[in-house]
Amino acid sequence: MPLLQFERLATLTGVLRDRTVRLAVTGLSGSGKTAFITSLLHNLLSAVGHPTRLPFLRAAAERRLVAVHLDAPPAETIARFPVGDAIAALAADPPDWPASTTDLRQADLTLRFTPAGFLGRAAGGTAELRLEILDYPGEWLLDLPLLGQSYREWSRASLEQARQGVRAVLARDWLDFLARHPADGAADPEVAQRAHCLYRGFLAASRTRERLSLLQPGRFLNPGEIADQSLLWFCPMPFAIGGNAREGSMAALMEARFEAYKQTIVRPFFAQLARGVDRQIVLVDVLRALNDGEEAFADQRLALETILTAFRFGRRNLLRLLFGARIDRVLFAATKADHVPAVQRDHLEALMANLVTTPTLRAEGAHARVAATALASIRCTEDGTDVIDGHRVDVVVGLPEGGHRRIRFFPGIVPVTRPPAGFWGERFTEFPVFQPPRIAPAAGAGVPHINLDKALEFLLGDILA
């Protein structure tokens, strides 16, 4: 091929291939977002010199990744993901878990790679993928249904929920306060703020004491940066049947704030998500919910259903209906899969798939747009066996945080579908927090993981092809 043509083809491939992709990472608090992003960054940065760390990411395994580097933060408003601090924590002696991020964060990477196809090989050129990784609290997704609800409808549904199950005990102070300050009384901003604090306290206790997940509005526990905090000073109130909020009443004040919260915080967030994100991974701590018992598990499932309404493909998707959507691949991942041995990890993947009614990564056709998997971003254990009551069982072996001796941990059996009633009698043993493996601070060997590469192949493989 004459040189001139060769060069033109290389430029052409460059033009065709160079691309910016925004990958959003979300999950409820504690689901493993920080660990996932830290491992993803460190492993991609290490992948050029150490392709065996990501064997199922084809571009890495085929040695087509030529260079990967972190980009300097653009002068934008989104805070940087603290990658240096996160890697330093894992490189410390003893290694520590990186501190969880609780707000919107971004990290940018550039991956230079050789395209896989004939054109790429013939041209001999490389292409560039700018990967913008966006980390946001999954709690914010729980607000999507609010956009389709009036204050009255939301109040009714929230009060009904608050009077049921373990919530009823935790909601008592707030409900007593509402009984003393009726919705049709004169609007009083101080009373509204006090009612909001009690309601927020009820949500916080539901999360910490009962480990519940469906806690709305999502910003009450994970506000992020909100300039005017008074936007949040509302809560559900009981209405008289058929009654409307009378002008100048408490209900009218609460309603105005509820609507302002939707317009100034919830709507812009979802508009940004729908228009600015290409790929999405939702991390779910399924094992912890199994650990926490029947009500916590059922509540996590309801929260997941709400999150699914944002990412389901097809015409019923509220996000698409309201804002359109660019997102074309979504992966649901059960995290911390290194708490269970190999066979149980397959169960965990099946359970994750069952909870969101999608195929597993293993079963997905090449072009599936939504799939489920189980992964460990930072693998802390090895598989082993033990003998319990004369039976040989599979266990995981790891060092508990702060401990001196590795333990053999038998987690119980992970159900492959929603657990039957009898399951809850014999709850899992409480999972230990394992010490993460110590890593080298400079990119090189990467971070041990389970299925991180398969997740990346699903999310980015077509772009790196």
- In the complex, the residues that contact ligand GDP under the rule CB under 6 A are 27, 29-35, 97, 100-101, 335-336, 338-339, 376-378, 380, 433-434
209: left (phi over 0), alpha (psi -120 to 50) or beta: alpha
**Of 196 and 288, CB closest to ligand GDP:** 288
Minimum distance of ligand GDP from residue 389's CB (angstroms)? 26
Least distance between ligand GDP and beta carbon 238 (Å):
34
Alpha-carbon torsion 170, 174, 176, 182, what sign? negative
Question: Which of 66, 433 has the CB closer to ligand GDP?
Answer: 433
99 vs 168, beta carbon nearer ligand GDP: 99
Smaller CB separation from ligand GDP, 29 or 149 = 29
Q: How far apart are the C-alpha atoms of 351 and 368, rounded to whole Å?
A: 18
Least Å from the CB of residue 231 to ligand GDP: 24
Beta-carbon neighbour count of residue 236 at 10 Å? 25
Smallest distance from the beta carbon of 232 to ligand GDP, in angstroms?
21
The CA-atom distances, in angstroms, between 415 and each of 75, 185, 229, 286 are: 47, 51, 43, 11
Least distance in angstroms from the C-beta of 443 to ligand GDP: 19
CB of 287 to ligand GDP, least distance (A): 9
Q: Which of 147, 358, 134 is nearest to 264 (CA)?
A: 147
Q: Which of 38, 52, 33 is nearest to 88 (CA)?
A: 38
Nearer to ligand GDP, 171 or 456 (CB): 456
| Angle, CA 139 vertex, CA 250 and CA 360 arms, to 5° | 145
Q: How far is CA 274 from CA 1, 43, 64, 154, 255, in A?
A: 44, 28, 31, 23, 26
Complex with ligand GDP: residue 34 or 358, whichever CB lies closer: 34
Distance, in Å, from the CA atom of 458 to the CA atom of 172, rounded to the nearest integer, reads 46
Contact indicator for 33, 135 with CB cutoff of 8 Å: yes
Q: Quote the strand ranges of 161-297, DSSP E.
A: 279-284
Q: Minimum Å distance from CB 62 to ligand GDP?
A: 26
Q: Where are the alpha helices (DSSP H) in 262-394?
A: 267-276, 286-292, 294-311, 318-323, 342-355
* Cβ proximity to ligand GDP, 116 vs 433, nearer residue: 433
Question: Shortest distance, CB of residue 409 to ligand GDP, whole angstroms?
Answer: 10
User: Nearest distance from residue 138's CB to ligand GDP, in Å?
Assistant: 8
Sign, CA dihedral 309-312-318-320, equals positive
Q: Kindly write down the DSSP assignment for every residue of 375-424, as one continuous string.
A: -BSS---EEEEEEETTEEEEEEEEPBTT-SS-EEE---PPPSSSPPGGGG
Q: Are strands 105-113 and 370-374 parallel, antiparallel or unpaired?
A: unpaired
Query: Cα 114–117–123 angle (5° rounding)?
Result: 60
Q: Measure the CA dihedral 124/126/127/131, to 10°.
A: 150
For ligand GDP, the closer of residues 158 and 451 by Cβ is: 451
| In the complex, minimum distance from the CB of residue 374 to ligand GDP, in angstroms, rounded to a whole number | 11
For residue 411, the minimal CB distance to ligand GDP (Å) is: 11
Kindly tell me which of 115 and 411 has the beta carbon lying closer to ligand GDP.
411
Judge whether 130 and 21 are in contact, CB under 8 Å. yes
Q: Considering the complex, what minimum distance in angstroms separates the CB of residue 21 from ligand GDP? A: 22
As a whole number of angstroms, the distance between CA 81 and CA 337 comes to 24
Q: Looking at beta carbons only, is 31 or 161 nearer to ligand GDP? A: 31
- The crossing angle, in degrees rounded to 10, of helices 172-180 and 189-208 is 160
CA separation for the pair 366, 205 (Å, rounded): 43
Q: 31 or 360, CB closer to ligand GDP?
A: 31
State which residue, 92 or 363, has the beta carbon closest to ligand GDP.
Answer: 92
